[in-house]
Amino acid sequence: MTSRFSSSPPMEVKLADCNVCPHRDTLLVNGRCVPGDICLIAQSGRQIDRFLRRNPELAQDCLRDAFWERRAIAARYAPLDAVQKMGWDKDEVVRRVVASRLPIAELGDYLHDVDREVRMTVAERIAPERLSALISDLDYLVRLQVAKRLPHGQLPRMAHDPDREVRKEVARQLPSFALRPMAHDEDVEVRRIVAARMLPEDAAAMLTDTDWLVRLEAAKHAPLEAITCLVDDCEPDVCAVVHRRLNGFLLEDEHD
């Protein structure tokens, strides 16, 4: 996730002019700000953050500042009721901060924000039952976050997502009994996850998969009578799992 908060070392930032600062006769003389280090009027995110962390009561006054970074940092420290009254900010970084702080019930206006990271923030926080609005989001990272939190009853809607990373997450989140429709996914990594998690009787259908790692996962828990078809598999690791399971069954049978 990218960020536009300034990252320049303090030594590269010019000192702000304390003579034009309204706090020079109060905070400065009382040691609550330090030129070049803890400063509200500097063009440095680090200095602004240090200042507002030390003087959070002044954050509300900066919520409509002309400098986007000052607004964004102020939104972290200002009282929630003041943040709620900010309205729609033109800068996406500010909106991300606002979306991270608003009550969950008030995130609806940010569901379709033009910035994907704002939408990702919303997808991380909004009530699960409202996530369906983002199932078809244009950005796969937003959909990936949706797949992590979407109620199981709605997850099958994402089983055919165009991005394999999203489908992999769906395969991890779906209940085992609901994985059968994903057994023929075009992506091998998706099928491996499916084969490892699906019910034993469903895993039997994946014993003939073209990828040996998929067959290996299926062979680990498919019914014993089904895995006999792999005793002579071309991959030694698959054969080893099959023989180990079959031999273990025979030893148990002899013991009984």
The domain segmentation of the chain, as residue ranges, is: 1-103, 146-256
Averaged pLDDT for residues 6-35:
70
Averaged pLDDT for residues 18-39:
80
Averaged pLDDT for residues 56-71:
96
Q: What is the pLDDT of residue 248?
A: 80
> Quick check: helix, strand or coil at residue 103?
coil
pLDDT at residue 99 tops 50: yes
* Cα separation values, 180 from 76, 203, 228, Å: 45, 8, 21
C-alpha 98, offset from chain centre: 18
Take residue 66 and report the two structure tokens written for it: 């002309």
Give the confidence band of 255 by pLDDT, cuts at 50, 70, 90: very low
Highest mean pLDDT among 28-37, 38-47, 82-91: 82-91
Q: What is the pLDDT of residue 76?
A: 97
The Cα–Cα gap between 100 and 117 comes to: 11
Classify residue 198 by burial, with Cβ atoms within 10 Å: 0-12, 13-18, 19+: buried
With b for 16 or more beta-carbon neighbours within 10 A and e for fewer, the 152-188 pattern comes to: eeebeebbebebbbbbbbbbebbeeebbbebbebeee
Torsion over CA of 151, 156, 161 and 164, rounded to 10 degrees? 90
Are the C-beta atoms of 206 and 214 separated by less than 8 Å?
Answer: yes
β-partners of residue 38 are 34
Are the C-beta atoms of 140 and 166 separated by less than 8 Å?
Answer: yes
For residue range 191-200, list pLDDT tens digits in order. 999 999 999 9
Give the closest residue to 119 by CA, choosing from 135, 104, 97, 134: 134
The CATH class of 1-103 is mainly alpha
pTM metric for this prediction: 0.83
Give the closest residue to 60 by CA, choosing from 70, 46, 50: 70
Region 146-256: CATH code = 1.25.10.10
Fold agreement between 1-103 and 146-256: yes
- Of 26-35, 100-109, 210-219, the one with minimum mean pLDDT is 26-35
> Quick check: helix, strand or coil at residue 38?
strand
